[in-house]
Amino acid sequence: MTLRIGCDLDGTLADMGAALQREAEALFGPDVDLGQGGGASAVPPVDSEDEGEDSPGRPAPSGESASAPASRRPLTSREYRRLWSHVRRIENFWTTLKELEPGAVARLAQTAGERAWEVIFLTQRPSTVGETAQRQSQRWLAAQGFDLPSVFVVDGSRGLVARSLALDLVIDDRPENCLDVATDSIATPILVWRDSAASAPPGAARMRIETVFSFADAMRRLEAAGDAAAPVPGLKGRIRRALGL
């Protein structure tokens, strides 16, 4: 059966967290810490302004900041806004990121081709100097081994996108995006949680969110879903089923 899959980019495939950490250190010094560990899950939304002008940046939701050196400090909200303003001035910034798991994009491309999956990549990347965020993302995916990628720059609920596109599964590293998918669509959300199992969001299973701990694990879940799905019947089969034969 052809699976229709939505796949997030930053924190799921692309290492936005490391790139933002690098730029933050260039701006504010080596003692700052975004609190995102190896991924981007803890990086606040772009232009977050829900805190005081000089208040510390939003802490990591999964305890990553506890492992940061004591000498490091979180960014303030003002510094977060300055960081994003700086990033937007970097030409084609989104093409410079590295893969979180080297070879993951190429493996997804190969498996999707072999199994006739339809994959669309979902992202909320803001625009930067240079090409559009969509075109930069397409170039990045192609460079990692995924030819002719479809990229949708999302503005709003990913659940509504999943419902509109009739997606079967959506892979994402942010619990709130997975919750949107679970509540606003019939797609199965797969949460790629890159911290310890003990710190995984409680109640995810009750919300029918499947939690994995690497993109490699997510790939195994996709393959299992494809194996378990019944084949789509041909015209004669659909007629027989409609007639109850």
What digits encode the pLDDT tens for the residues 75-92? 999 999 999 999 999 999
Residues 222 and 108 in one domain: yes
Q: Looking at the domain assignment, is residue 233 inside a domain?
A: no
Chain segment 186-209, per-residue pLDDT in tens? 999 999 999 999 999 999 999 999
More confident residue, 133 or 239: 133
Q: Looking at the domain assignment, is residue 239 inside a domain?
A: no
Which domain covers residue 53, as residue numbers?
16-93
Residues 167 and 149 in one domain: yes
Q: Which residue has the tokens 């710190």?
A: 199
Three-state secondary structure string covering the chain? CCCEEEEECECCCECHHHHHHHHHHHHHCCCECCCCCCCCCCCCCCCCCCCCCCCECCCCCCCHHHHCCCCCECCEHHHHHHHHHHHHCCCCHHHCCCECCCCHHHHHHHHHHHHCCEEEEEECCCCCCCCCHHHHHHHHHHHHCCCCCEEEECCCCHHHHHHHCCCCEEEECCHHHHHHHHHHCCCEEEEECCCCHHHCCCCCHHHCCEEECCHHHHHHHHHHHHHHCCCCCCHHHHHHHHCCC
Q: Looking at the domain assignment, is residue 107 inside a domain?
A: yes
Written as six digits, the tokens of 179 are: 């919750």
Output the pLDDT for position 71: 83
Among the candidates 37, 60, 93, a domain finishes at 93
pTM (two decimals): 0.82
Output the pLDDT for position 160: 97
Q: Which residue has the tokens 């007639």?
A: 243
Output the pLDDT for position 133: 98
pLDDT at 159 over 70: yes
Q: Is residue 182 a contact partner of residue 205, using CB atoms and an 8 Å limit?
A: no
Q: Looking at the domain assignment, is residue 242 inside a domain?
A: no
Residues 198 and 125 in one domain: yes
User: What is the C-alpha to C-alpha distance for residues 198 and 174, in angstroms, rounded to an integer?
Assistant: 16
Residues 59 and 87 in one domain: yes
Number of independent structural domains in the chain: 2
Q: Is residue 32 a contact partner of residue 24, using CB atoms and an 8 Å limit?
A: yes
Q: Check which CATH number belongs to the domain holding 132 and give it.
A: 3.40.50.1000
